[in-house]
Amino acid sequence: MLTPVTIFTPYPFTIGEKIHISEGPRHGDWIVAGLDDKKVTLRCPVSGKEFCWDRFCHVIETKEQEWPEHGKNKIQSTKPENSPMQIGMIGLGRMGMNMARRLLRGGHQIVAFNRTPDKTEQLAKEGATGAYSLQELVESLPSPKVVWLMLPAGKPVDDHLTQLQKLLSPGDIIVEGGNSRYKDDIRRVEALQGSGIHYIDAGVSGGIWGLKVGYCTMVGGEEPIFHYLEPILQTLAPKDGYLYCGPTGAGHFVKMIHNGIEYGMMQAYGEGFALLEASPYGQNLDYGRISHLWNQGSVIRSWLLELLENAFAEDPHLEAITGHVDDSGEGRWTVEEAIESGVAAPVITMALFQRFQSRKENAFENRVLAALRREFGGHAVKKIVTLKDTLNLK
């Protein structure tokens, strides 16, 4: 099946792609026979005749535009669904490594780079082409080059973008697939203006299970570039598992709110199971079976409950772990967005604050509360027993 894609420019053509020009002196079916940084060569599949034009001429959807030397034309591309692509993957952590594996298994060609070479070598054994510098990665990709970043948000992404901007050419594509803040995406696109390099932000959810079940992907940026990348997205995602969300930053914004909701859901499950544990029935309850039960038609069923079922199967009362809960940043950004937009988000906010509280043993603020209750009401406090106290008792 062929999916029509209207071409905006600069359009990232690929060798062998079928092109249909619907109007003008060059109307008819053509095949992309050659391309470089400046021009595209089209060949007629019947006569073998070829012609070239500047790949950065301005063709805007249904509007007609003068092309140098070739009059007025309208152009449409038909790119086969799931057609294999070549892509550079930078960052082979838990997410990046498995995303690269899923793409390899889907028939795509991967050029892989990681700061530490052992992971690059590991993926090379599984069919990828290993690259041991950004320059080697870029030189190993055909034009237009597609480079996907899976790096920690912030400085690591900015540092790599600075280097890639020097190595890539107009028409090449950078996909930032980590957990960047949407405001950073907007800033980066402004910095890339004039370079001709495209920037796509992709919020990716799926964690360590994505290799098996797929990655839910939320995409922002230029819509024609999104369509060009669809064979990659179709392989990464489960059915109906990816979406074009809007202009630059939209993908990461939707992913940020997704993670904020996740904070609230996790906190609610935590509080609910804590109430079960503290109840008179707690000793006799099987939390793994309850998690499974609640996923059978219940209104609170979810994948998170499936994961809890697995966790309780290994440790019925979670006695082998502590309650220290970190946050990756999106929860904070969601709360900041709520403040900036004036939208009340008390559940997400309190879920974030509860994570802060979880990291403190004998928190100072709680000691302040205990001291105040003692001072104004004479309420008893629990004192810390020191080694000296223990020795004096003896």
Residues carrying an active site annotation: 255, 262
Q: Is 365 helix (H, G, I), strand (E, B) or coil?
A: helix
| Whole-number Å distance between alpha carbons of 96 and 383 | 49
Query: Which of 186, 237, 241 is closest to 214 using CA atoms?
Result: 237
* DSSP symbols for 92-151: -SHHHHHHHHHHHHTT-EEEEE-SSHHHHHHHHHTTPEE-SSHHHHHHTSPSSPEEEE--
Among candidate residues 31, 147, 139, the one with its CA nearest the CA of residue 79? 31
Inter-residue contact 194 to 221 (CB < 8 Å):
no
Q: Retrieve residue 176's tokens.
A: 């930032």
List for the chain the helix, strand, coil content (%; round to 5). Answer: 45, 20, 35
Record the tokens describing residue 171, joined without a space. Answer: 């028409």
Tokens 């900015």 label which residue? Answer: 158
The answer to whether 43 and 15 are in contact (CB under 8 A) is no
Please tell me the number of Cα atoms within 13 Å of 87 on its side-chain side. 32
Q: CA 330 to CA 179: how far, in whole Å? A: 8
